[in-house]
Amino acid sequence: GEDVEQSLFLSVREGDSSVINCTYTDSSSTYLYWYKQEPGAGLQLLTYIFSNMDMKQDQRLTVLLNKKDKHLSLRIADTQTGDSAIYFCALRGFQKLVFGTGTRLLVSP
């Protein structure tokens, strides 16, 4: 089955850039997503990238996709304390999402 891995924890200072990484085994997904989860809340869709793209920029967010290495990353520019949350990458299989383990981002002032 699909396997999606993320590092568990990332700590940055306010104003720095954050890079959250995700590696996966199944390369058949057409869409790859990033979701954000704040404490006690559901999942908020941040952005997504189509599998035939290498990069997508959306305001402070930049998604990079390396299909050869099966590596997806999310860069958050000018990270703010409000960005502290858990970030999940997810691969779109047929009729379901396969999620990574989640990366907890802590932003300190």
Q: Which of the stretches 14-22, 54-62, 77-85, 94-102 binds another protein when contact is defined by CB under 8 A?
A: 94-102
Residue 6 vs 79, nearer CB to another protein: 6
Q: Which of the stretches 10-18, 39-47, 58-66, 75-83 binds another protein when contact is defined by CB under 8 A?
A: 39-47
Q: Which residue has the tokens 């990458």?
A: 89
Query: Which CA distances in Å does 87 have to 40, 94, 99?
Result: 14, 22, 10
Token readout for 62 is 């930049």
Residue 30 vs 108, nearer CB to another protein: 30
Token readout for 17 is 């850039």
Distance CA 80, CA 76 (A): 9
Smallest distance, another protein to C-beta of residue 16, A: 27
